[in-house]
């Protein structure tokens, strides 16, 4: 097994440090009122997997897919996020998702939209402890105000279960720029029009 904190198989790291609770606090910056989980068996359970690091192993709370194994999360943030890493926890090997596809700043995606090329995707490993972190492309996931996570399949079960989704990164408040109102003359200025004609005539000559 690779040492904790060192890269493992190229796409994820084993991590378990005291700072993880602080690093994985982006869930507090999610606009929970507008968060959507499509194909959840029980309404509202998709929101419950975004929780404190200390509660990641609470297997009493989870989201399970309904009609098939797919789940789709639309995650709006209250500001801008630089996303650096993601952790996915499942309990049972068969119901654990085996892939996640990530889309940046495409609000309210549906299953009709997921045929688009993802900004990044990972083949997932079964993780029931939260030690596998998948490092995102920071350049790609800079200034994220909306994140979509698509879980298309699992390791063989009819439905998918997710117990925890952890997001690591940096947060900054959204900037609200003032609106500049310009007032334009509704009537043409005849003097300006005559000057323009003089200039045109002069250049033609």
Q: Domains in the chain, ordered, with CATH?
A: 7-179 (2.60.120.470)
User: 143-191: per-residue pLDDT in tens?
Assistant: 999 999 999 999 999 999 999 999 999 999 876 554 444 444 445 555 5
Answering whether pTM is above 0.95, one says no
Strand runs (DSSP E) across the chain, as ranges? 7-8, 12-14, 36-38, 63-64, 71-89, 99-104, 120-123, 132-135, 144-151, 161-162, 164-173
Residue 199 pLDDT: 45
User: 54-88: per-residue pLDDT in tens?
Assistant: 999 999 999 999 999 999 999 999 999 999 999 99
Nearest CA to 22 among 163, 171, 142, 174?
A: 171
Q: Has residue 132 got a pLDDT over 70? A: yes
Task: Write down the number of H helices and E strands in the chain.
Answer: 2, 11
Residue 18 pLDDT: 58
- pLDDT confidence band for 14 (50 / 70 / 90): low
Q: Has residue 51 got a pLDDT over 80? A: yes
Residue 203 pLDDT: 41
Residue 19 pLDDT: 74
């Amino acid at each position: 097994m690779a040492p904790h904190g060192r890269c493992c198989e190229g796409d994820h790291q084993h991590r378990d440090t005291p700072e993880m609770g602080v690093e994985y606090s982006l869930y507090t910056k999610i606009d929970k009122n507008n968060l959507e989980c499509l194909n959840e068996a029980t309404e509202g359970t998709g929101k419950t997997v975004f929780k404190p690091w200390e509660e990641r192993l609470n297997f009493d709370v989870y989201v399970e897919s309904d009609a098939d194994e797919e789940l789709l999360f639309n995650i709006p943030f209250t500001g801008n996020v630089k996303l650096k890493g993601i952790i996915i926890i499942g309990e049972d090997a068969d119901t654990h998702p085996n892939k996640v596809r990530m889309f940046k700043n495409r609000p309210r995606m549906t299953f009709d939209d997921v045929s688009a090329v993802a900004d990044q995707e990972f083949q997932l490993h079964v993780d029931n402890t939260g030690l596998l972190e998948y490092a995102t492309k920071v350049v790609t996931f800079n200034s994220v105000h909306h994140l979509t996570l698509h879980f298309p399949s699992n390791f063989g079960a009819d439905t998918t279960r997710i117990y925890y989704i952890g997001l690591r990164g940096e947060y900054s408040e959204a900037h609200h720029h003032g609106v500049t109102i310009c007032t334009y003359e509704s009537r043409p200025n005849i003097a300006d029009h005559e000057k323009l004609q003089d200039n045109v005539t002069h250049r033609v000559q």
